[in-house]
């Protein structure tokens, strides 16, 4: 299933608005939203309805408006503009995210960073890839995979949502460097072997993580809850939390990291 044409079209809408003096408003949860979020989501919904009309789509802005379809065992998760704060600050580290979920697992996904001219995609059994994008055209696909963890780690974390819990978690490992990054690019940087570990101790939603998770899993990595279980998708009717809300999690490149790289 080729999601990339939809990714490029949504990214073009985002860049069109990025070049303007756009307005910023707040949703009911106080998170920011712009016309780019809404325009990109419209493109994604139209594109997915044409690509796979029988598969329901859970999309961030639709969900915020209370429009959530029944999801069953197979559905799409879409975040039209992950990293809205990065978009507003104009640092380029925002992405378009689409993932296909089957039985709670992100089996395929794509992440496009339109301002950085990079796109990542992957699927279970097919591997993960990245390419440069020039003038809206995807270049040569390059296979990517996680790197072996040899010695000290490179950790990566949120540029906008860091915290003491993350610092505390990383003390269990020998960390040589911490790289801040925005949006789902953190998963992709681990997938391409630039970083090793990404702990997220703040609140996220499934549409924030699914596409990057799919790419990382396809590249040989994993995303786990703090009790060592794979991060699951399609979580509804959760006691004490909302639909599609994630628990805290950690993304790893090398699956041996927990046993091979703890600090002495």
Please indicate if the annotation marks 54 as binding a ligand.
no
CA 193/CA 19 separation, integer angstroms? 32
- Residue 215, domain CATH: 3.40.190.80
Q: Specify whether 50 is located in the same domain as 98.
A: yes
Please indicate if the annotation marks 117 as binding a ligand.
no
Please indicate if the annotation marks 25 as binding a ligand.
no
pLDDT for the residue 264: 42
The three-class DSSP label of residue 174 is coil
CB 123 within 8 A of CB 108: yes
pLDDT digits (tens, 9 = 90+) for 7-30: 999 999 999 999 888 888 877 676
Here the tokens at position 127 are 């591997």
Rg (CA), the chain: 17
Q: Specify whether 8 is located in the same domain as 118.
A: yes
Q: Specify whether 20 is located in the same domain as 86.
A: yes
Q: Specify whether 161 is located in the same domain as 110.
A: no
Boundary (domain end) residue, out of 126, 144, 162: 144
pLDDT in tens, the chain (264 residues): 899 999 999 999 999 999 888 888 877 676 778 889 999 999 999 999 999 999 999 999 999 989 999 888 999 999 999 988 889 889 899 999 999 999 999 999 999 999 999 999 999 999 999 999 999 999 999 999 999 988 889 999 876 555 788 888 888 888 999 988 888 999 999 999 999 999 999 889 999 999 999 999 999 999 999 988 999 999 988 888 889 999 999 999 998 887 754 444
Look up the pTM and report it. Answer: 0.93
- Residue 119, domain CATH: 3.30.540.10
Please indicate if the annotation marks 127 as binding a ligand.
no
Domain count of the fold of the chain: 2
Boundary (domain end) residue, out of 107, 126, 144: 144
Please indicate if the annotation marks 204 as binding a ligand.
no
Q: Specify whether 27 is located in the same domain as 106.
A: yes
Please indicate if the annotation marks 196 as binding a ligand.
no
CA 106/CA 206 separation, integer angstroms? 10
Please indicate if the annotation marks 83 as binding a ligand.
yes
Residues of the domain holding 69 = 4-144
CA 1/CA 34 separation, integer angstroms? 29
Boundary (domain end) residue, out of 89, 114, 144: 144
Q: Specify whether 17 is located in the same domain as 89.
A: yes
Q: Specify whether 27 is located in the same domain as 123.
A: yes
Local structure of residue 249 (DSSP, 8 states): E
């Amino acid at each position: 299933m080729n999601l990339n044409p939809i990714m490029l079209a949504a990214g073009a809408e985002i860049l069109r608005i990025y070049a303007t003096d756009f307005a910023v408003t707040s949703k009911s949860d106080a998170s920011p939203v712009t016309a780019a979020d809404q325009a990109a989501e419209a493109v994604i919904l139209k594109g997915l309805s044409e690509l796979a009309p029988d598969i329901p789509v859970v999309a961030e802005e639709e969900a915020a408006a209370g429009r959530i379809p029944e999801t069953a065992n197979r559905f799409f998760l879409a975040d039209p503009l992950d990293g809205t704060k990065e978009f507003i600050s104009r640092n380029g580290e925002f992405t378009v995210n689409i993932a296909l979920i089957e039985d709670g697992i992100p089996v395929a996904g794509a992440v496009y960073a339109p301002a950085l001219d990079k796109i990542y995609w992957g699927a279970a059994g097919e591997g993960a890839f990245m390419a440069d994008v020039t003038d809206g055209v995807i270049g040569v696909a390059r296979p990517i995979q996680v790197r072996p963890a040899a010695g000290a780690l490179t950790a990566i974390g949120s540029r906008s949502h860091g915290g003491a819990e993350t610092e505390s978690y990383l003390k269990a490992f020998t960390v040589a460097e911490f790289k801040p990054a925005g949006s789902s690019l953190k998963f992709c940087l681990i997938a391409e072997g630039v970083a090793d570990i990404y702990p997220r101790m703040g609140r996220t939603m499934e549409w924030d993580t699914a596409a990057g998770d799919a790419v990382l899993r396809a590249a040989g990595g994993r995303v786990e809850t703090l009790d060592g279980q794979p991060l699951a998708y399609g979580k509804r009717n959760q006691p004490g939390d909302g639909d599609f809300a994630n628990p805290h999690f950690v993304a790893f490149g090398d699956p041996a990291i927990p046993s091979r790289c703890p600090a002495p």
